[in-house]
Structure 1
Amino acid sequence: MIKPIDFNLPPGEEPDDVSEAAAPHFDPSEFNVEYEFDPPPVEIDIRSECEAFFAPGGPLKAAAEYGGRPYEFRPQQLEMAGAIADALRCGDNLCIEAPTGVGKSFAYLIPLIYRSRLAARPALVSTETINLQEQLIDKDIPLLRKLTGIEFKAALAKGRHNYLCRRRFALLSGEQRDALLPAPALALDIGRLGRWMEYTTDGERDSIDFRLEPETWSLACCDGASCLGPKCEFYRNCFYYRARQSWETADIVVANHALFFTDLAMRAASGAAGALLPNYGVVLLDEAHTLEDNAADHLGLHLSRFGIVATLNRLYNQENARGLLMRKGADPALRGAVADSRDEAYGFFTPFENVLREHNESALEIQDPSRFPNRLSAKLEQLYRSLAQFLEGQEDASFRTEVEAQLTRCREFIVGIDQFTRKLVPDAVYYAESERGSVSLHATPLNVSELLSELLFHQDFPVILCSATLTVRNSFDYYTGRTGFCNGRTLLLDSPFGADQARVYIPRDMPDPKDDGYQAALEREVPRFVELTQGKAFVLFTSYASLRRTADDLREYFRGKGWQLLVQGENMTRSGLLREFKEDTDSVLFGTDSFWTGVDVPGESLSNVIVTRLPFAVPSHPLIAARMERLEREGQNSFAAYSLPEAVLKFRQGVGRLIRSRNDRGIVVVLDRRVISKHYGKMFLDSIPYRFELV
């Protein structure tokens, strides 16, 4: 669904009027107040402080005494910290490729910590993965606080849906509980949540130590559309606002990319009034290789059948006679209007679903959305007016707030459908996609570099980007062109690891992935190379269908060897698979997209990374196709300018899972003969530091 705008001020509340006309007349001479001004802050040379911290004999040398890793001087780490210090001093943007092993989190945290002694506005650190956020907040920052001796505040920022809402919970556990819960069995969850509330200190979803249905949490969590802010009777004890207060007073705020880009979109739409995060004075984006895709996702338009139907079911679900409008006194005609809208929601998305099925595609560009019938908007408009009239007679503030939230969403759906059907999002690709049993509609911007240049890289604060993989053939040109990075410099750091720590094997007789014999060869070569390391392997796939077939065909082989086969998409979550892989040293993990990046398994458990196929994006996906078509219109070769560098970067990410420390050793296996048979194959092999051997 469309992401709602989340204002700091509650709905209907305006700032105090402080205009000259409204102010009472006063004579300034009547006031004679002597003010005591604080002395200006002492200038701090952040670069010198960083150099002293990382130098041999500096504070970092004592890290092991406080539970950190033993000290080793890393010139790349010092160079990175110094470059960030210079960027902070000058207010310039900075883009850094920091290979694994540089110690990049310390390299950017230390300048930000020294900055906190004189900066009025906090620093925002945004990461892609939860693992890195937890590492920063729970390990790195506490350790650096001890080592620097500086008392600074750090806070972890999460979206409001991560916090329990006391008001919504009170409504769910009150006398209307049975009507409001979609299923009777969820009443057990409400009881568990009630007992948990008695001892939780933060109200965070992640701190729940029992199984909870996602549907229950969605009904009880904090929700922007239904939040009353300071007008809420539970405001003083609100988990979410208590967390936000800690963000406002923090020197360093750690967030994820989803929250950061949601905040960025809200600032673009409504200015500071729509901001979720504090008024930051510097932004540091770690794991910045996902910048373009994250921005495209959050700066675009999204509608889903699931989202619309879920909102209508919240009002009234005719299948189980539950919902807000089952409340005593609600007009049955209102429930009928909701049921009609729900039917039309299915009717609106069905033609899109049929087109996907006819073309046997999971995603398809919709070049003329207006040709698809739309009776849903009229039904939602009618429902909107009826709900607004119904609310005029409601005195229960909490109930009224819940209905108003659904009213807001109805308006958002109406606007979103209009924007999609009339193609009002400029320079975007419009497409339908089938996902998880639902159908969604997207309008994704193609001018991300222009948007980011304006919204991010031309602001009054420096933006620092860092990742282990940003360059192609040691050049930032591709990355900066796609992301719009400007107003600053780039820095490419050397790897602290040796080229002799890994070896690359390429089978001589491997067929081309398009050949009929490829799957059989894949199932022959995977066991061959897994045996070299006695398990301990990641096998990375580019499609789930190929992963499933290979896993099914080789399951008995792995069982016979006594090596546990862990398969993405079966019984365990991604984090559960990773945990089991680390604990069972000889296990083998088959993974797709999410295991190519953001996974850290140092030591013997991961000694072998097998790349089954070069990771080219599917060219038929509407977003990929539209990006390539745009380049062709500009006179560029879309394969050379987009497909190839994207694949090289992802290849580097996948191979980068292997060597995570100076002590790691292992092998990389590439089961795609295009690295030796195609002219562009050399570009992949040149992108990694290890020597290859044909076997």
Structure 2
Amino acid sequence: MKTPTYAVVDIETTGGNVSSGDRIIQFGCALVEDHKVVQQFSIDINPSRKIPKEIEYLTGITTQSVAAAPYFEDVAPTLFQLLEGCIFVAHNIQFDYAFLSNEFERCGLPALTLKGMDTVELAQILLPTEASFSLGDLVASLGLTHERPHQADSDALATAELFLLLSEKVETLPLVTVEKLVELSQHGIMQNQEFFLMHLAEMKRKVKPLPDHLFIKSGLALQKKNSSLPQEDFHERPSFPETLEDKKRLFGSALSIREPQVQMMDEVYRYFSKKETKHYAIEAATGVGKTIGYLLPAAYLASKENPIVISTYTTLLQKQLVTKDVAQVCALLPFELSVAVLKSKSHYLHLMKFESLLNEPIEQKLEAVYRMRVLVWLTETTTGDLDELNLTNYEQAFWNKVKHRGWLDEAKEDKWYEDDFYIHARKQVKKASIIVTNHAFLCHDLIKEQQELPPLQRLIVDEAHHLEEVAVQSTAESLKYYRLQKIFKWLGKKDDEKSFIGQFEAISSRMTEPITHFLDHLEMTSYFLNEEWSFFIDHLLHEARNQKEIRFSGQESTDVFFDPETFQSVSFKKSVKKMISLMEEIIYLSRNITKKMMKEKTVLSSSEQYLLNDFYDLLNEFQQQNNLFRIAFKQKNEQYVTWFSFKEKSPKNSFTIYCNRIDNPQILKKELVDKIPSIVYTGATLQVNDSFLFFEQQIGENNLKTLCLDSPYDYQKQVRFWLPKDLKPIRSLSKEQYAKMIVYYLELLSQNSTENVLVLFTSYDTLQRVYYQLQRNSAFSGRELLAQGISGSRERMLKRFFRSQGSILLGAASFWEGVDLPGRALQVLVVTRLPFDSPDRPFVKAKYQWLEKQHLHPFAAEALPKATLRLKQGLGRLIRSEKDNGILLLLDDRIVSTTYGRSILSAMPKGLHLEEMTAENMQEEIRTFLRE
């Protein structure tokens, strides 16, 4: 059998649209035979038109550099002959294949009919835990050759190396996994199925034994779990290194040690050892090394009998803490340390549901890729934690189907119980000395009747300034009209064989006590409730539009604060009463259906049992919606705030009802502060104007022990903090004028430096206005523009920004912190406005009203401290080490023209001085300072 030749192709073009005149400017090809690159070919091509500036910037190919190159018409026959008889391979094949085929046809040659394989899809399947599948990111992650990104020859060679790596990877998989990949890949892109078929044939010729680290169950190959954590004996553990010399010996050359970090280690060790009655707040400025500062003493103090729980802000930081910081500490320790991660069950894959789903028909091509990706991942993961897959959207139907929600019946009746990932995680927690969780899990667990965390005695709260914010989010509920429509659709009708009611009707005929009566009633009630919901939302939309003050969130959505006094009509009250009655009737009927089917479980097939589980999950979701509806419209409760949000383009489908508690400090005090004996709170920004008072008020503390560890950074030398002298007052500008002013100063920066620029906004509306103005401004044509909500996910934008030179990144909200861009990656930071919360946001408005009832001034007690902390957090993006230097440009005159602005200024780090600069002086200083 002749070995196929793969033509791995990449083209660079003037744009993405052949029909509008875009042309190829470079062609690259690497021929692969017998698992190696045997030939490379590349050529520049004159496109007979000017190459756009953004393409020149991206590729380095200019109109002048290809002026003497041949036209595509001249080289088309050669390229066509080169590809003839090959299998066409490309990264994102649908672009390269179609573009090249159209160009051949334009030159009078036949359209391409070659078989094709796509390395994007193959990488998504075979490298399931990669964070990004762009060629540049894969090359960097896998250590492949890629000397000149966005040059066709280099891209083609890098793609060829990736293709060879993927070919090697598939043959390391168990035969049973590859057989399933072959079956599913018929739904993939072009001839990717042949990729798996060829490798399967090769594997069957040389069958290898199953590796020791894998096992097969019910046709699935899985990684064996490490069932035991290190067996540590707490009583034989060496003493904590108390002296500086002891610590230096322990750290050796692996980690540098800093004086403030040593102080933090000693303080944390003493605090937990002495079992003090007060809780302890430690502000450890950026650069102190706070994570190692609390991890090392915790390692020496924690035991399986008396574990220490560490909570951090997000699951991403939770992952970083374990994989990076805990790993570093464990490498230093002269003993074994058992550490476990605890998240909510929805973070884990439910094997029972995944196995069931594999037997269902494929409805979307994307789901086939997801199934294949999980099949490969199961041979690699020991945790089953879906976060390992670096998903950007967990709301896809597939992930909702396979994520863990627990069991309707006895968990041990699940045939996968012994291998269940969530159960395994819970077992690990019981054996661990240190348990790492996140604030959301902690806040939810505190108020649950059956808590999943062990009884808490010692707790470390990292990024503690976020605790109140997460507590707010953990009590937040939302009721989406489109989601209710989906629930009604899933319930369906008897004549719909795919709906719950339709499938249950078929099962009912086999039951000794048929449930037809309940299904009839459920179908009718569901219909009436759907009609009533439609009327109810119309009523709310009508009232919302009649309100004089509607709130715009800046993302084309309108937020409307729900004031019970406004909605007092008899018809509205009747509608609320009717809605609650119908919702409770559906819950009653659904529970009866579930109970009766559970009694006759023996007549259900395994897939029907999974169906009943899904129905029970849906019922629980519906119950939550009912509870929210009651709180929002029936029960008068001053601890809750309700508002609506909708987009004018599709008001009904986008209509969402939100409900939040606003008394979170009281909840935290009751469930956390008053119940846990020893707590260390830590973070880089806990103080406002040398006081922990605001932090105490946010979390319900009132008598904290406190410590402030200053930053080792020399802000006076490392940072230039500028306010333009001729800056116009923000309040005097329209939205368009304000955006133009921002663009003016960005142009000034761009003309005088080639550094990356991070621009922080408080409004998405302003961000979008600036982005579109920058796009139209020729001064920025040589720079890559990245904008939150426009240019992809946050993680992807940060990766591109980190690797680029001269990019401008526009970010809001989440970009004010948690962004690590050391050294040359970020030297210019622009803050467009002092970061106050908008008082028009419904939750903020309600919170301010609640504070007033507590006899507190909302601006002084909430708005000003929050803005101060956020500006400090923004500054923290600029300086990440003692070697960094950078410019902070603030475009808000209120920092010097108002009393509260001067208060914010006084709270900035020591050594940071504000200079008011003219545009002329600024230009010279930019060049001088950054050059130094």
Q: TM-score normalised to the size of structure 2?
A: 0.64
Between the aligned partners of 2:808 and 2:421, the Cα distance in structure 1 is 41
Verify: 1:192 aligned to 2:365, yes or no.
Answer: no
Say if 1:154 and 1:306 are closer, same or farther in 2 by CA, change over 3 A. farther
Between the aligned partners of 1:558 and 1:83, the Cα distance in structure 2 is 56
Structure 1 equivalent of residue 796 of structure 2? 576
Kindly state the Cα deviation for residue 662 of structure 1 after the two structures are TM-superposed: 0.3
Between the aligned partners of 1:96 and 1:478, the Cα distance in structure 2 is 14
Kindly state the Cα deviation for residue 535 of structure 1 after the two structures are TM-superposed: 3.2
Verify: 1:513 aligned to 2:730, yes or no.
Answer: yes
Q: Any conservation in 1 of the 2:816–2:870 contact (CA below 8 Å)?
A: yes
Kindly state the Cα deviation for residue 459 of structure 1 after the two structures are TM-superposed: 1.6
- Once the two structures are superposed, residues 62-109 of structure 1 have per-residue CA deviations (whole angstroms, 9 ceiling, x without a partner) of 31xxxxx4x2x4221122222222221214411111110000000010
Code of the aligned partner of 1:440: T
Kindly state the Cα deviation for residue 485 of structure 1 after the two structures are TM-superposed: 1.9
Say if 1:509 and 1:103 are closer, same or farther in 2 by CA, change over 3 A. same
SS of 1:51 mapped into structure 2: coil
Structure 1 equivalent of residue 249 of structure 2? 58
Structure 2 equivalent of residue 385 of structure 1? 588
Structure 2 equivalent of residue 606 of structure 1? 826
Verify: 1:88 aligned to 2:272, yes or no.
Answer: yes
Between the aligned partners of 1:45 and 1:489, the Cα distance in structure 2 is 29
Say if 1:324 and 1:579 are closer, same or farther in 2 by CA, change over 3 A. same
Between the aligned partners of 1:409 and 1:563, the Cα distance in structure 2 is 47
Kindly state the Cα deviation for residue 219 of structure 1 after the two structures are TM-superposed: 1.1
Please, which moves more after superposition, 209-218 or 589-598? 209-218
- Once the two structures are superposed, residues 347-404 of structure 1 have per-residue CA deviations (whole angstroms, 9 ceiling, x without a partner) of 4444334444444323333221776432332222222233334331453243333323
Q: Any conservation in 2 of the 1:444–1:623 contact (CA below 8 Å)?
A: yes
Q: Any conservation in 1 of the 2:827–2:885 contact (CA below 8 Å)?
A: yes
Q: Any conservation in 2 of the 1:370–1:421 contact (CA below 8 Å)?
A: no
Q: Any conservation in 2 of the 1:85–1:111 contact (CA below 8 Å)?
A: yes
Kindly state the Cα deviation for residue 634 of structure 1 after the two structures are TM-superposed: 4.2
1:364 to 536, 540, 560: 560
Structure 2 equivalent of residue 11 of structure 1? none
Between the aligned partners of 2:245 and 2:611, the Cα distance in structure 1 is 57
Say if 1:583 and 1:161 are closer, same or farther in 2 by CA, change over 3 A. same
Structure 2 equivalent of residue 15 of structure 1? none
Kindly state the Cα deviation for residue 192 of structure 1 after the two structures are TM-superposed: 2.1
Verify: 1:405 aligned to 2:617, yes or no.
Answer: yes
Say if 1:211 and 1:526 are closer, same or farther in 2 by CA, change over 3 A. closer
SS of 2:731 mapped into structure 1: coil
Structure 1 equivalent of residue 627 of structure 2? 415
Structure 1 equivalent of residue 441 of structure 2? 259
Between the aligned partners of 2:869 and 2:495, the Cα distance in structure 1 is 49
Q: Any conservation in 2 of the 1:529–1:669 contact (CA below 8 Å)?
A: no
Code of the aligned partner of 1:289: H
Kindly state the Cα deviation for residue 549 of structure 1 after the two structures are TM-superposed: 0.5
1:219 to 390, 401, 418: 401
Between the aligned partners of 1:548 and 1:539, the Cα distance in structure 2 is 12
Structure 2: unaligned runs, 5 residues or longer: 1-232, 509-515, 552-557, 918-932
Say if 1:353 and 1:44 are closer, same or farther in 2 by CA, change over 3 A. farther
Q: Any conservation in 2 of the 1:186–1:216 contact (CA below 8 Å)?
A: no
Structure 1 equivalent of residue 217 of structure 2? none
Say if 1:676 and 1:159 are closer, same or farther in 2 by CA, change over 3 A. same
Say if 1:156 and 1:686 are closer, same or farther in 2 by CA, change over 3 A. same
Say if 1:290 and 1:263 are closer, same or farther in 2 by CA, change over 3 A. same
SS of 2:632 mapped into structure 1: helix
Structure 2 equivalent of residue 491 of structure 1? 707
1:129 to 290, 304, 314: 314
1:157 to 326, 333, 342: 342
Q: How many residues align?
A: 635
Please, which moves more after superposition, 138-147 or 380-389? 380-389
Kindly state the Cα deviation for residue 555 of structure 1 after the two structures are TM-superposed: 1.8
Between the aligned partners of 2:495 and 2:834, the Cα distance in structure 1 is 48
Say if 1:389 and 1:148 are closer, same or farther in 2 by CA, change over 3 A. closer
Say if 1:370 and 1:320 are closer, same or farther in 2 by CA, change over 3 A. farther
Q: Any conservation in 1 of the 2:643–2:657 contact (CA below 8 Å)?
A: yes
Say if 1:476 and 1:562 are closer, same or farther in 2 by CA, change over 3 A. same
1:470 to 672, 686, 703: 686
Structure 2 equivalent of residue 103 of structure 1? 289
- Once the two structures are superposed, residues 316-345 of structure 1 have per-residue CA deviations (whole angstroms, 9 ceiling, x without a partner) of 389987333332346573445444434444
Structure 2 equivalent of residue 143 of structure 1? 328
Q: Any conservation in 2 of the 1:164–1:221 contact (CA below 8 Å)?
A: yes
- Once the two structures are superposed, residues 640-679 of structure 1 have per-residue CA deviations (whole angstroms, 9 ceiling, x without a partner) of 2221111111111111110010000001000011112112
Code of the aligned partner of 1:477: L
Structure 1 equivalent of residue 134 of structure 2? none
- Once the two structures are superposed, residues 617-658 of structure 1 have per-residue CA deviations (whole angstroms, 9 ceiling, x without a partner) of 000112211222233344443222221111111111111110
Code of the aligned partner of 1:60: F
SS of 2:252 mapped into structure 1: helix
Q: Any conservation in 1 of the 2:461–2:682 contact (CA below 8 Å)?
A: yes
SS of 2:712 mapped into structure 1: coil
SS of 2:453 mapped into structure 1: coil
Q: Any conservation in 2 of the 1:504–1:693 contact (CA below 8 Å)?
A: yes
Code of the aligned partner of 1:611: V
Between the aligned partners of 1:470 and 1:390, the Cα distance in structure 2 is 52
Structure 2 equivalent of residue 303 of structure 1? 479
Structure 2 equivalent of residue 352 of structure 1? 540
1:675 to 895, 898, 905: 895
Q: Any conservation in 1 of the 2:309–2:434 contact (CA below 8 Å)?
A: yes
Kindly state the Cα deviation for residue 694 of structure 1 after the two structures are TM-superposed: 1.0
Say if 1:55 and 1:546 are closer, same or farther in 2 by CA, change over 3 A. farther
Q: Any conservation in 2 of the 1:536–1:607 contact (CA below 8 Å)?
A: yes
SS of 2:837 mapped into structure 1: coil
SS of 1:657 mapped into structure 2: coil
Please, which moves more after superposition, 675-684 or 344-353? 344-353
Code of the aligned partner of 2:267: A
Structure 1 equivalent of residue 425 of structure 2? 243
Code of the aligned partner of 1:279: P
2:459 to 254, 279, 283: 283
Q: TM-score normalised to the size of structure 1?
A: 0.84
Say if 1:223 and 1:610 are closer, same or farther in 2 by CA, change over 3 A. same
SS of 2:732 mapped into structure 1: coil
Q: Percent identity?
A: 26
SS of 1:283 mapped into structure 2: strand
Code of the aligned partner of 1:192: M
Q: Any conservation in 2 of the 1:457–1:486 contact (CA below 8 Å)?
A: no
Q: Any conservation in 2 of the 1:611–1:670 contact (CA below 8 Å)?
A: yes
SS of 1:253 mapped into structure 2: strand
Say if 1:229 and 1:533 are closer, same or farther in 2 by CA, change over 3 A. farther
Please, which moves more after superposition, 214-223 or 301-310? 301-310
Say if 1:460 and 1:76 are closer, same or farther in 2 by CA, change over 3 A. same
Kindly state the Cα deviation for residue 130 of structure 1 after the two structures are TM-superposed: 4.1
Structure 1: unaligned runs, 5 residues or longer: 1-39, 64-68
Between the aligned partners of 1:515 and 1:60, the Cα distance in structure 2 is 56
Verify: 1:78 aligned to 2:262, yes or no.
Answer: yes
Q: Any conservation in 1 of the 2:722–2:915 contact (CA below 8 Å)?
A: yes
Please, which moves more after superposition, 552-561 or 91-100? 552-561
Between the aligned partners of 1:634 and 1:106, the Cα distance in structure 2 is 39
Q: Any conservation in 2 of the 1:189–1:216 contact (CA below 8 Å)?
A: no
Say if 1:50 and 1:429 are closer, same or farther in 2 by CA, change over 3 A. farther
Code of the aligned partner of 2:671: L
Between the aligned partners of 1:615 and 1:545, the Cα distance in structure 2 is 15
1:567 to 784, 787, 790: 787
Say if 1:481 and 1:184 are closer, same or farther in 2 by CA, change over 3 A. closer
SS of 2:436 mapped into structure 1: strand
Kindly state the Cα deviation for residue 613 of structure 1 after the two structures are TM-superposed: 0.6
Kindly state the Cα deviation for residue 114 of structure 1 after the two structures are TM-superposed: 0.5
RMSD over aligned CA atoms reads: 3.0
Q: Any conservation in 2 of the 1:226–1:401 contact (CA below 8 Å)?
A: yes
